[in-house]
């Protein structure tokens, strides 16, 4: 059986370590490289608390590193400051790229789209790999057709760098596709403290909570005459994301397209 050669960026982080472990368990995948500036020079097995894998963690990603290990799929779970440079390196090397790091802005996404088309290499940017979260977004989009008054509350651990979350933004975008922009609340409302009503996306208010104890949680609240509809998704373990990540790796290997959202890989 031909194995998919996978390179993991951010392999020393909490999510990166989970990805490495699940890749090692797959019969159709081979971990050929990993990078993490904080764990550079260490053996990946030692970082996982396992026997040595004889796979040294590299530092910053370069095309030469990726070509040298013959990587076929590059997956990035680093941070918003590194993801753009890493993805550009992967595409320059002709390696299919899966991005799980949020924080890219529209200009950066456009830059990656152009490079993907130029190199004819597939890219998947997924705000969320949890299949339940994708269903939550689908349900919210459907509800927005009938309940235009809506707000989003997303809650994450206090080490998350970007706000609002990529999932919250994607949810608002999907809802906006079927909901006309509108102002919510009293027309003369005002904030006693700036930001009290949260961010505003085409009239949909988004609130970001950052506290220890949370993992990743989101609820979309719809208000109507005499009723309230709440759609909520909760993540309690990083294992939640692994089935979606494996799907992304397998589908990205043969894709030549620039795709945003794991839902595009679902049948």
Residues involved in catalysis: 156, 160
Tell which residue, 140, 143, 168, has the closest CA to residue 154: 168
Token pair, residue 51, equals 């026997």
Alpha helices in the chain (DSSP H): 14-24, 44-48, 63-68, 83-92, 106-119, 131-144, 166-178, 242-252
14-24 vs 242-252: helix crossing angle, rounded to 10:
60
Enumerate the β-bridge partners of residue 98. 75, 124
Distances from the Cα of 254 to the Cα of 67, 90, 250, 263, angstroms: 18, 16, 8, 17
Give CA–CA dist 33/57, Å, rounded: 7
Give CA–CA dist 15/36, Å, rounded: 12
Distances from the Cα of 72 to the Cα of 65, 145, 149, 169, angstroms: 12, 41, 45, 30
């Amino acid at each position: 059986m031909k194995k998919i050669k996978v390179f993991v960026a951010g392999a020393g982080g909490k999510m990166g370590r989970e990805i490495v472990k699940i890749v090692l368990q797959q019969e159709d995948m081979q971990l050929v490289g990993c990078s993490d500036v904080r764990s550079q020079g260490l053996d990946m097995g030692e970082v996982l608390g396992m026997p040595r894998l004889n796979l040294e963690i590299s530092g910053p990603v370069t095309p030469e590193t990726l070509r040298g290990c013959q990587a076929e799929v590059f997956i990035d779970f680093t941070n918003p400051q590194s993801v753009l440079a890493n993805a550009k390196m992967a595409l320059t090397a002709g390696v299919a790229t899966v991005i799980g790091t949020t924080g890219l802005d529209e200009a950066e996404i456009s830059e990656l789209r152009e490079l993907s088309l130029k190199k004819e290499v597939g890219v998947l940017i997924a705000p969320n790999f949890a299949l339940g979260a994708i269903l939550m977004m689908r349900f919210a989009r459907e509800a927005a057709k009938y309940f235009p008054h809506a707000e989003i509350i997303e809650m994450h651990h206090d080490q998350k760098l970007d706000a609002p979350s990529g999932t919250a933004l994607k949810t608002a975008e999907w809802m906006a596709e079927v909901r006309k922009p509108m102002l919510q609340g009293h027309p003369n409302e005002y904030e006693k403290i700036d930001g009290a009503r949260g961010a505003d996306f085409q009239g949909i208010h988004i609130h970001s909570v950052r506290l220890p104890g949370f993992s990743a949680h989101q609820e979309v609240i719809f208000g109507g005459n005499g009723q309230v509809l709440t759609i909520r998704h909760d993540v309690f373990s990083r294992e939640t994301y692994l089935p979606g990540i494996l799907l992304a790796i397998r589908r990205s290997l043969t894709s030549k397209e620039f795709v945003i959202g794991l839902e595009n890989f679902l049948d």
